[in-house]
């Protein structure tokens, strides 16, 4: 295609989107998911003649190869400020701009806010106000002009004050790796490009990996497949780290950008759940005029849900719907991070440890996360699912139904073949109280069930947990968690009594918890101002019952990065002495709020699990081919598949203090 043809298509797109109010907008792409009735989605709306906020200067396409990020888009320092804390706020709710990820102000929920989920201190202003097609198209035009002129955007993110950056006696900068040449694609594909992409997708996946049925012994693929392939790229699942391709961190095959996760050129539908949302940033990562979206968000009460919904209606963002999971009673946090990304050839199930924010995905160069992805192929028309429902699919469907996604959307998931997920387990926490058969499916009990279903039971496992938030730990909670990790059953009153009776501090010797010290956060690229989503309370840590000897300093292998990872590594021997290794990646941190508290229901006289949070994650076996029988595997067995983003075995605190986000 010639430059003139592309420019003409671009001008037409801009002209269409800058029309005055009252004129019809462009129709939704006919390639949208046919299994969700189009009539149930918001239609494209006329553009407002005026808007109060022009966000053009804050929108951009991130180039992981070049590491561009405009200075104006850097988030405000994430630091605890009591005057801005919603818990302490005296401002009536109706007078506040809704912030996605904000937890309720009720005092009894304070522990849940700080114990497991990241606390959104000084959160981003990510409401829907000011979002509209006009602004988005103006931004695309600005990007195209910048690309044509070859204008460079300065790299930012150093942990230096403005004064030090101006002075000649500033500390020596971190040695930067050579930047690769920029390779940006046009942010507005032409009509011909869209047709060509559609034709290519219809020819099937271009992956070199097999898409045949996998047995239960299958493992995740190793870091050898490029992450930017269209079509089915990860049929058996893969773990990637988020990018941070500047501040000296060169992107490798182990890292992935959010654009690559979305596969934006062929994305038809996106269901995205997160504790925090930067809506403007997310919507700029794919083509909102051609992709249907559902944002699964936190809103404790009806007043806040109505406020957010009205905010969206005013913004006139096309093809976007909202879903608010139930949060009655004790439930305080919708912390799940899950993406269902529908394409013509496949469904990508992505489970990140990152929220839907610019800094969590590494684009400000201060934070690192991980993401699990598996691509399941779309069944041909009229084809029955040959494998039926795998355990992974059953729990995924159960979870999204509990969240409240529309039945038509859940039904459309049956059009994909989940046969290649037999070696995976979807592990979740559904907020609320659960008894009967439901207790086995979620929280600690669901974790134990997943371990048993995959045949990963161990006797005395070694446990390494990288967490971005640590709750009020004690030996009883550790005993229940340890039982679940071993694959033990926790569903009867006698089993609960047995676990409580065997609480022993010796378990602490088998746990290592990776969480940064105050010193490590202070030395990070973003400094203490960017440590607001790394959480532990001083009142928890200073208790005599807190297992301090388990703590290890989390120091990233990518120098200067803070971590928002939630990764559980388990190694041990089964009853026959065979070595076992498995890992969990997801949204759940190390706290009772995330994994649940198991008690006896006084009225029904049956076991009950209480869960304050919504969480989601994936559990999978790690290949141990050639491992020595009778010997517990070393941590390095995780390097090729899961990856270990931090230095291990990790330094003990040795008198140092953890990072107290509320104290600094």
User: Residue 173 has what pLDDT?
Assistant: 29
Q: Is the pLDDT of residue 323 over 90?
A: yes
Report cis status (omega within 30 of 0) of the bond before 529.
no
Predicted pLDDT of residue 166: 29
In-domain check, residue 143: no
Residue 357 has pLDDT above 60, yes or no: yes
User: Which residues contact residue 60 at a Cβ distance below 8 angstroms, ignoring those fewer than 6 apart?
Assistant: 68, 69, 70, 73, 139, 143, 153, 284
Is residue 135 classed as helix, strand or coil in its secondary structure?
A: helix
102-128 exposure pattern, b = at least 16 Cβ within 10 A, e = fewer: bbbbeeebebbbbbbbbbbbbbbebbb
- With 90 as the cut, is the pLDDT of residue 106 above it? no
**Tens digits of residue pLDDT in 509-537:** 999 999 999 999 999 999 999 999 999 99
Q: Is the pLDDT of residue 157 over 50?
A: no
Question: Which one-letter DSSP state was computed for residue 172?
Answer: P
Secondary structure element (H or E) that encloses residue 144, with its range:
helix 133-149
pLDDT surpasses 90 at 161: no
CA dihedral 79, 339, 260, 68 (to 10 degrees): -20
Across 89-98, 162-171, 237-246, which has the greatest mean pLDDT? 237-246
Please compute the mean of the pLDDT values over residues 582-603 and round it to a whole number: 96
Count Cβ atoms below 10 Å from residue 466 Cβ, excluding itself: 27
Domain assignment present for residue 29? The answer is: no
pLDDT given for residue 663 in this prediction: 82
Based on DSSP, count helices (H) and strands (E) in the chain, helices before strands: 16, 21
Phi and psi at residue 100, in whole multiples of 5°? -70, 130
Q: Which of 116-125, 132-141, 635-644 has the lowest mean pLDDT?
A: 116-125
pLDDT at 376: 96
Q: Give residue 127's pLDDT band: very low, low, confident or very high (50, 70, 90).
A: low
What is the pLDDT, as a whole number, of residue 148?
56
Query: Where residue 312 falls among pLDDT bands split at 50, 70, 90?
Result: very high
**Residue 68 counted as an annotated binding residue:** no
Show the DSSP H helices in 574-643 as ranges.
592-595
Please compute the mean of the pLDDT values over residues 84-101 and round it to a whole number.
33
* Token digits of residue 253: 């095959």
Q: Which has the closest alpha carbon to 229: 254, 258, 261, 202? A: 261
| DSSP, res 66 | T
The Cα 605–Cα 592 span in angstroms is 22
Q: Between these two residues, 245 and 635, which has the higher pLDDT value?
A: 635
pTM: 0.74
Give the model's pLDDT for residue 433: 96
pLDDT at 396 over 80: yes
Q: So what's the pLDDT on residue 626?
A: 83
Q: What is the mean pLDDT of residues 384-413?
A: 91
User: DSSP strand E in 42-110: where?
Assistant: none
Q: Percentage of the chain surpassing pLDDT 90? A: 58
Mean pLDDT for 165-172 is 27
pLDDT at position 581: 98
Q: Is residue 106 part of a domain?
A: no
CA 539/CA 649 separation, integer angstroms = 27
| Residue 145 confidence (pLDDT) | 61
Q: By C-alpha distance, which of 539, 242, 594, 214 is closest to 377?
A: 214
d(CA 136, CA 58): 11
pLDDT for position 572? 97
- Summarised one tens digit per residue, pLDDT across range 254-297 is 999 999 999 999 999 999 999 999 998 999 999 999 999 999 99
Contact 597, 429 (CB under 8 A): no
The pLDDT value recorded for residue 530 is 92
pLDDT on residue 560: 95
How many CA atoms within 13 Å lie on the side-chain side of 6? 14
146 vs 307, higher pLDDT: 307
Whether 610 is in a domain gets the answer yes
Q: How far apart are CA 245 and CA 254, in angstroms?
A: 12
Check residues 270 and 7 and name the one with the higher pLDDT: 270
CATH number of the domain within which 563 lies:
3.30.870.10
Condensed to tens digits (0 to 9), the pLDDT of residues 13-55 reads 444 443 433 333 333 332 333 333 333 333 322 222 332 222 2
Q: What is the pLDDT of residues 603-659, one digit of tens each?
A: 888 999 999 999 999 999 999 988 899 999 999 999 999 999 999 999 999 999 999
Question: Any residues with CB less than 8 A from the CB of 618 and at least 6 apart, and which?
Answer: 237, 351, 372, 392, 424, 425, 426, 427, 584, 585, 586
Going by their DSSP bridges, the two strands 462-466 and 511-514 should be labelled as parallel
Total number of domains constituting the chain: 1
Question: Is 337 annotated as a binding-site member?
Answer: yes
Q: Please tell me the least confidently modeled range out of 137-146, 398-407, 566-575, 588-597.
A: 137-146
Q: Which residue has the higher pLDDT, 60 or 524?
A: 524
Q: Inform me whether the pLDDT recorded for 149 exceeds 70.
A: no
Asked, for residue 344, whether it belongs to a domain, the answer is yes
Between residues 195 and 460, the one the model is more confident about:
460
Region 70-78 average pLDDT: 38
Residue 386: what pLDDT? 64
Q: Could you list the residue range(s) of the whole structural domain that residue 363 is in? A: 238-638
Residue 11 lies in a domain: no
Name the average pLDDT for the chain.
75
pLDDT-based confidence at 97, cuts 50/70/90? very low
Residues forming the active site = 335, 564
Residue 423 lies in a domain: yes
Averaged pLDDT, 201-209: 36
Distance of alpha carbon 574 from alpha carbon 577, whole angstroms: 5
Give the dihedral sign, CA 447/449/454/457.
positive
């Amino acid at each position: 295609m010639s430059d003139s043809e592309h420019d003409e298509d671009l001008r037409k797109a801009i002209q269409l989107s800058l029309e005055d109010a009252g004129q019809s907008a462009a129709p939704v792409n006919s390639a949208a998911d046919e299994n969700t009735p189009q009539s149930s989605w918001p239609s494209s709306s006329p553009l407002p003649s005026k808007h109060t906020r022009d966000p053009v200067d804050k929108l951009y396409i991130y180039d992981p190869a070049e590491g561009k990020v405009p200075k104006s888009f850097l988030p405000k320092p994430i630091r605890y400020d009591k005057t801005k804390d919603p818990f302490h706020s005296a401002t009536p709710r109706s007078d506040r701009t809704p912030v996605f990820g904000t937890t309720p102000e009720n005092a009894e929920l304070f522990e849940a806010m700080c114990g497991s989920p990241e606390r959104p201190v000084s959160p981003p202003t990510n409401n829907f106000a000011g979002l509209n097609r006009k602004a988005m198209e103006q931004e695309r035009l600005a990007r195209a002009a910048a690309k044509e002129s070859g204008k460079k955007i300065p790299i930012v993110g150093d942990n230096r004050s403005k004064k030090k950056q101006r002075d000649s006696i500033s500390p020596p900068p971190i040695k930067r790796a050579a930047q690769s040449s920029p390779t940006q694609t046009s942010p507005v594909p032409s009509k011909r490009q869209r047709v060509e992409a559609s034709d290519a997708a219809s020819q099937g996946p271009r992956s070199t990996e097999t898409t045949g049925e996998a047995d239960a012994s299958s493992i995740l693929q190793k870091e050898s497949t490029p992450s930017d392939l269209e079509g089915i790229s990860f049929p058996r699942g893969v773990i990637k780290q988020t990018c941070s391709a500047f501040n000296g961190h060169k992107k490798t095959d182990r890292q992935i950008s959010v654009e690559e996760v979305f596969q934006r050129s062929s994305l038809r539908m996106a269901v995205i759940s997160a504790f925090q949302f930067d809506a403007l940033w997310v919507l700029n990562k794919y083509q909102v005029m051609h992709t249907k979206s559902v944002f699964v968000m936190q809103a404790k009460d009806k007043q806040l849900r109505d406020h957010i919904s009205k905010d969206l209606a005013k913004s006139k963002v096309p093809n976007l719907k909202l879903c608010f999971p139930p949060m009655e009673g004790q439930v305080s946090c919708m912390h799940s991070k899950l993406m269902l990304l529908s394409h013509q050839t496949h469904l990508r199930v992505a489970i990140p440890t990152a929220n839907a924010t610019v800094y969590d995905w590494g684009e400000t160069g201060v934070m690192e996360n991980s993401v699990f992805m598996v691509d399941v192929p779309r069944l041909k028309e009229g084809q029955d699912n040959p494998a039926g429902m795998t355990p992974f699919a059953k729990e995924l469907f159960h979870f999204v139904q509990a969240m409240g996604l529309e039945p038509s959307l859940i039904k459309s998931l049956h059009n994909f073949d989940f046969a290649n997920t037999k070696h995976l387990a979807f592990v979740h926490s559904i907020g609320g109280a659960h008894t009967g058969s439901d207790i086995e499916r979620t929280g600690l009990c669901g974790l134990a069930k997943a371990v048993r279903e995959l045949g990963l039971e161990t006797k005395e496992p070694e446990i390494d947990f990288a967490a971005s938030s640590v709750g009020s730990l004690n030996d009883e909670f550790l005993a229940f968690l340890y039982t679940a990790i071993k694959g033990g059953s926790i569903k009867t009153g006698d089993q609960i009594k047995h676990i409580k009776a065997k609480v022993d501090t010796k378990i602490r010797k088998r746990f290592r918890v990776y969480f940064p010290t105050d010193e490590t956060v202070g030395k990070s690229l973003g400094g203490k101002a960017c440590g607001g989503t790394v959480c532990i309370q001083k009142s928890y840590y200073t208790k005599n019952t807190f297992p301090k000897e388990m703590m290890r300093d989390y120091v990233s292998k990518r120098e200067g990065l803070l971590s928002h990872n939630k990764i559980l590594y388990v190694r041990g021997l089964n009853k026959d002495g065979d070595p076992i290794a498995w890992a969990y990646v997801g949204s759940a941190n190390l706290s009772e709020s995330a994994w649940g508290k198991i008690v006896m229901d006084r009225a029904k006289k049956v076991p009950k699990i209480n869960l304050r949070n919504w969480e989601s994650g994936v559990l999978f076996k790690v290949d141990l081919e050639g491992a020595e029988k009778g010997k517990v595997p070393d941590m390095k067995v995780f390097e090729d598949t899961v990856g270990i983003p931090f230095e291990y075995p990790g330094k003990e605190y040795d008198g140092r203090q953890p990072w107290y986000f509320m104290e600094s």
